């Protein structure tokens, strides 16, 4: 296969970065097609920990071209900072390896200010955003008042649009959100300092990708967030502001429909989510704290503790259907070591009715009860496993049951944080 997309099947934080990093070894081009720096991938390479927020995980492999597509919203200050941080560690030193879409929209300081002021004003009704300005940036995109990176090529026109937007946002901040207005000159100076560093990366990413695919190059599309955070198909309104499922590749990379050959879904061996919203299989107390600690379940971009739950097969089946998944990569199986029994949510109960598929109208989720199936756990360490036969019998049965309930074959199993701590059953680039 030449074109493969990696997408999350839960509420994000599934370990996509590690799988993308592993697959990037066989890819020529790695593409980010949606979201912003509110999503982050944590990678462990040669014992070093890296957190990537905007630059695709291919940056940690020499010679891989990293593309940020038009479907993303990009904070130019954060991007410049991320590039500098990688270079300070001897990574991503070649400017030719980064392509940023001219049509990608900017996340600007006023977007962050609005995001945070809204959440503070909402109080208990807050959605639980990261406060990075992603939602307001997508709002401006849809309202046709956003600023795209192409504007950086014309400093005068960019300055005029920026000044006009800041003036309008300051009125909104002061009158509606009771927040402090921003200093236009200070923002303009900040952006002026990074402009020369960003402009060389600007590219028509659609044309670049079409040429790469025509030349037979292998292209990996790296999703952010997860299926249940999709603006249309997730647990609305507790979602992100972009489409996170595989079809977003076509508009956000962009890629012509029909050119995507495989979709690999990523899921934890249990479930987590950050922020507010329904979570039927959520667990609390000592067990949740143990999983949170063992799995280091704290947001890569924010540091917020993640909510913890058992694996939810209802969510998995929905993700398989929406994404047309070729296979499933299950991460963090090792975190479940020593927990007995294990539970899998196989359906929901609401009143007298059982739901084996996601109920229409996400409001039902807030009051639905999980129906669990119990399986025996294991105590043996999984860290050295590199084949299914190396796993304890109970661990293999757990994996087999998840694949059966989800309705998709397993392609990979993560048994540790390091790049090499992965059991690879099928690699789509080698299939």
Q: Output the CA–CA distances (angstroms, integers) from residue 368 to 85, 229, 356, in the order listed.
A: 45, 19, 12
Burial (CB count within 10 angstroms: exposed 0-12, middle 13-18, buried 19+), residue 49 = exposed
Cα separation, 218 vs 141, whole angstroms: 31
Confidence of residue 117 (pLDDT cuts 50, 70, 90): very high
- What is the secondary structure of 349-416 as a DSSP string? EETTEEESSPPSSGGGGGTPEEEEEEE----S--TT--SGGGS-HHHHHHHHHHHHHHTS-EEEEE-S
196-215 pLDDT tens trace: 999 999 999 999 999 999 99
Does residue 73 register a pLDDT over 80?
Answer: yes
Q: What angle do CA 267, 271, 275 make, to 5 degrees?
A: 115
Using pLDDT thresholds of 50, 70 and 90, give the confidence band for residue 140. very high
Active-site choice (28, 41, 61, 233): 41
The whole-number pLDDT of residue 300 equals 66
For residues 401-416, give the mean pLDDT: 97
Q: 231-266 pLDDT, tens per residue?
A: 999 999 999 999 999 999 999 999 999 999 999 999
Question: Is position 28 annotated as part of the catalytic site?
Answer: no
Q: Work out the pLDDT band at 364, boundaries 50, 70, 90.
A: confident
Across 318-329, average pLDDT: 98
What is the C-alpha separation between 285 and 110, in angstroms, rounded? 39
pTM for the model:
0.94
CB-based contact 412:425 (threshold 8 Å)? yes
Residue 123 backbone zone (phi > 0: left; psi -120 to 50: alpha; other: beta): left
Structure tokens at 192: 């002026």
- Long-range contacts (CB closer than 8 Å, 24 or more residues apart) made by 277-280: 277/11, 277/127, 277/128, 277/235, 277/238, 277/239, 278/235, 278/238, 278/362, 278/365, 278/366, 278/368, 279/11, 279/307, 279/309, 280/309, 280/312, 280/314, 280/345, 280/348, 280/365, 280/368, 280/369, 280/370
Q: How far is CA 331 from CA 22, 132, 238, 271, in A?
A: 13, 27, 24, 11
CATH fold group of domain 3-95+204-424: Adenylosuccinate Synthetase; Chain A, domain 1 (3.40.440)
Q: What percent of the chain has pLDDT over 70?
A: 99
Q: How far is CA 428 from the centre of its chain?
A: 20
pLDDT number for residue 375:
98
DSSP bridge pairs for 272: 308
Query: What gap in Å lies between CA 100 and CA 202, rounded to an integer?
Result: 5
Tokens of 232: 């249309």
| pLDDT band of 38, cuts 50, 70, 90 | confident
| Residue 334, pLDDT above cutoff 70 | yes
Compute the Cα dihedral for 89, 46, 326, 397 and give only its sign. negative
Lowest mean pLDDT among 132-136, 287-291, 364-368: 364-368
Q: What is the pLDDT of residues 148-206, one digit of tens each?
A: 999 999 999 999 999 999 999 999 999 999 999 999 999 999 999 999 999 999 999 99
Q: Is the pLDDT of residue 362 over 80?
A: no
Asked whether the beta carbons of 47 and 421 are under 8 A apart, the reply is no
Instruction: Please give the radius of gyration of the chain, using alpha carbons only, rounded to the nearest integer.
Output: 22
pLDDT at 142: 96
- pLDDT tens for each residue of 94-103: 999 999 999 9
Q: How many CB atoms lie within 10 A of CB 258?
A: 7
Six-digit token pair at 39?
Answer: 């999503």
For residue range 263-301, list pLDDT tens digits in order: 999 999 999 998 889 999 999 999 999 999 999 998 766
Cis peptide before 93 (omega within 30 of 0): no
The predicted pLDDT at position 301 comes to: 64
The domain segmentation of the chain, as residue ranges, is: 3-95+204-424, 105-200
**What integer best gives the mean pLDDT of the chain?**
94
Dig out the tokens for 40 from the structure: 């982050």
Any alpha helices (H) in 230-305, and if so which ranges?
248-252, 285-294
H helix or E strand, kind and range, residue 21: helix 16-24
In the predicted structure, residue 127 carries a pLDDT above the cut 80 = no
Superfamily of structural domain 105-200:
Adenylosuccinate Synthetase, subunit A, domain 2 (1.10.300.10)
d(CA 100, CA 154): 17
DSSP state of 425: S
pLDDT tier at 86, thresholds 50, 70, 90: very high
| Active-site annotation holds for 13 | yes
Task: Indicate the helix (H) or strand (E) that contains 343.
Answer: strand 342-350
User: Has residue 354 got a pLDDT over 70?
Assistant: yes
Query: Between the CA of residue 14 and those of 135, 137, 156, 226, what are the distances in Å?
Result: 21, 25, 43, 8
Q: How many whole angstroms separate alpha carbon 283 and alpha carbon 40? A: 24
> Which residue of the set 13, 21, 28, 140 is catalytic?
13
């Amino acid at each position: 296969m030449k074109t493969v997309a990696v997408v999350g099947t839960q509420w994000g934080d599934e370990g996509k970065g590690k799988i993308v990093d592993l697959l990037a070894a066989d890819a020529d081009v790695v593409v980010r097609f949606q979201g912003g720096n509110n999503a982050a991938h944590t990678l462990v390479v040669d014992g070093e920990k890296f957190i990537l927020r905007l630059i695709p995980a291919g940056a940690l492999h020499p010679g891989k071209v990293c593309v940020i597509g038009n479907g993303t919203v990009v904070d130019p200050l954060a991007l410049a900072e991320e590039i500098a941080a990688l270079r300070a560690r001897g990574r991503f030193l070649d400017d030719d390896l980064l392509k940023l879409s001219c049509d990608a929209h900017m996340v600007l300081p006023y977007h962050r200010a609005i995001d945070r002021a809204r959440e503070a004003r909402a109080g208990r009704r807050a959605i639980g955003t990261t406060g990075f300005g992603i939602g307001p940036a997508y709002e401006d995109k849809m309202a046709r008042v956003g600023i795209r990176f192409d504007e950086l090529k014309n400093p005068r026109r960019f300055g005029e649009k920026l000044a006009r937007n800041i003036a309008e946002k300051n009125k909104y901040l002061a009158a509606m959100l009771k927040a402090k207005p921003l200093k236009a000159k200070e923002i303009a100076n900040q952006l002026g300092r990074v402009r020369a560093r960003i402009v060389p990366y600007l590219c028509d990413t659609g044309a670049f990708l079409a040429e790469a695919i025509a030349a037979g190059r292998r292209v990996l599309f790296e999703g952010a967030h997860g299926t249940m955070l999709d603006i249309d198909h997730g647990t609305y309104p507790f979602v992100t502001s972009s489409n996170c499922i595989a079809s977003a590749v076509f508009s956000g990379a962009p890629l012509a429909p029909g050119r995507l050959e495989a979709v690999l879904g990523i899921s934890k061996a249990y479930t987590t989510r950050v922020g507010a919203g329904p979570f039927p299989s959520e667990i609390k107390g000592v067990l949740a704290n143990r999983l949170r600690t063992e799995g280091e379940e704290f947001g890569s971009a924010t540091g917020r503790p993640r909510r913890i739950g058992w694996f939810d097969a209802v969510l998995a089946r929905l993700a398989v259907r929406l994404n047309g998944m070729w296979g499933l990569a299950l991460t963090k199986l090792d975190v479940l070591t020593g927990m007995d029994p294990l539970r899998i949510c196989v359906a929901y109960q609401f009143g007298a009715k059982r739901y084996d598929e996601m109920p229409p109208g996400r409001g039902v989720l807030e009051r639905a009860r999980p129906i669990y199936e119990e399986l025996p756990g294991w105590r043996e360490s999984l860290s050295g496993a590199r084949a299914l036969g190396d796993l304890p019998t109970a661990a293999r049965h757990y994996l087999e049951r998840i694949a059966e309930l989800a309705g998709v074959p397993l392609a990979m199993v993560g048994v540790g944080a390091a790049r090499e701590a992965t059991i690879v059953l099928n690699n789509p680039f080698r299939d």
